[in-house]
Amino acid sequence: MSNLENIEYVVKHSKHVKINKNRLEEFSKKFKSQKVSHYLDIENITNLNLNQVGLLLLIYTSLSFSFWQKPKWSITYKNEKYTGSYALIFSFLKQLKKNKDFFEIDNLNKITKKQFKKIFSGENEIPLFEQRYNNFKEIILTIKNNYNNNFENILINSNYDAKNIINEIIKTMPNFEDTSTYKNKKITFNKRIQLFINDLNMYLKLTNQKQITNLNYLFDLADYKIPMVLRTLKILEYDSKLENKIDNEIEIKQDSEEEIEIRASQIYVNQLLSKLINIDELKLNYQLWLLGKQKKYKLNPYHKTITTKY
């Protein structure tokens, strides 16, 4: 079975999460596309070379998980306060302002744990610091030992093909692997590595460089904000036990049936909705993620899972 067939299998056998297809259809008729705000709209990185941007985005996406712990970590950048993934990317871009060669592999290799922690100085501490530091070190050592200090060798080895890039990176940098087992079936989510490929290809387009092919292989990025939006829209319906856990901010265990069903249902809804409104799945993902920033879509909390996957 393909992974998307396995996603359908989870949805079909889901005990805790159901999809209300009537609500989904209603929403598809009202859906209005928004202007997607991306960090590349705020900060120009086109002056960096491919190796620098590749390392920046690999490190950024590798560390892009679990920002919800309280008190929330935040930073200030250009007089604006940022949390979550935006705080993460702007923490790195701050370093580039100080040192244009910050993302050269030799510089990154010299960074101590203490210096790495200082990168994220702001209000409160970045959560799961040890796991983020370990991911950072894995990337640097892998680029040095497996790719001759040259990020572009990943793309060359993969023939610039999205599926091959995913397989190549997960093989050499296993922190990116994002799979779960549901009733003896392997379910692949690969949220962070797909985000990496999408953002890297945006840079390649902006700089008129050779682009990544086979992008149709990519699918929705399963996280915690979009299920919150879909629940507010009454597209996702939870059983009373799961509802109680989420509403009382009780942790949903990683790889539990509940967590897998939430993530798989998000992907399945995205597939259906993208066909109904004729929009690319990843573009739709960003649209739904943006809704999650609006107050009216925050009526319910999002599910809390301590994880390095998203």
| Any domain includes 306 | no
pLDDT value at residue 37: 67
Residue 261, token pair as written in the block: 């069903």
| Any domain includes 309 | no
pLDDT value at residue 4: 83
> What are the b/e assignments for 97-118, b being 16+ CB within 10 Å?
eeeeebbebeebeebeeeeeee
Domain total in the chain: 1
Cis amide leading into 71 (omega within 30): yes
- Tell me which residue range forms the domain holding 210: 3-297
- Beta bridge partner(s), residue 179: 188
> What are the b/e assignments for 20-54, b being 16+ CB within 10 Å?
beebbeebbeebeeeeeeebeeeeebeebebbbbb
Amino acid symbol at 144: K
DSSP character string of 220-234 = ----SHHHHHHHHTT
pLDDT value at residue 174: 98
d(CA 37, CA 259): 28
d(CA 61, CA 194): 9
- Hey, how many other C-beta atoms are within 10 angstroms of the C-beta on 241? 10
| Any domain includes 86 | yes
Angle at 218 between CA 283 and CA 212, to 5 degrees: 95
Run means of pLDDT, 10 residues per run, the chain, 310 residues: 85 98 97 78 85 97 96 95 95 94 96 98 97 98 98 98 98 98 96 97 95 95 96 98 98 98 98 95 92 91 97
Tokens 């190796």 found at: 51
pLDDT value at residue 93: 94
- Residue ranges of E strands in 155-235: 179-182, 185-188
Give the helix, strand, coil percentages of the chain, each rounded to 5.
Answer: 55, 10, 35
pLDDT value at residue 138: 98
| Any domain includes 310 | no
| Any domain includes 9 | yes
User: Beta strand 179-182 with 185-188: parallel, antiparallel or unpaired?
Assistant: antiparallel
| Any domain includes 253 | yes
- Hey, how many other C-beta atoms are within 10 angstroms of the C-beta on 295? 6
| Any domain includes 76 | yes
Contact 214, 262 (CB under 8 A): no
d(CA 101, CA 97): 10
pLDDT value at residue 1: 57
| Any domain includes 307 | no
pTM over cut 0.85: yes
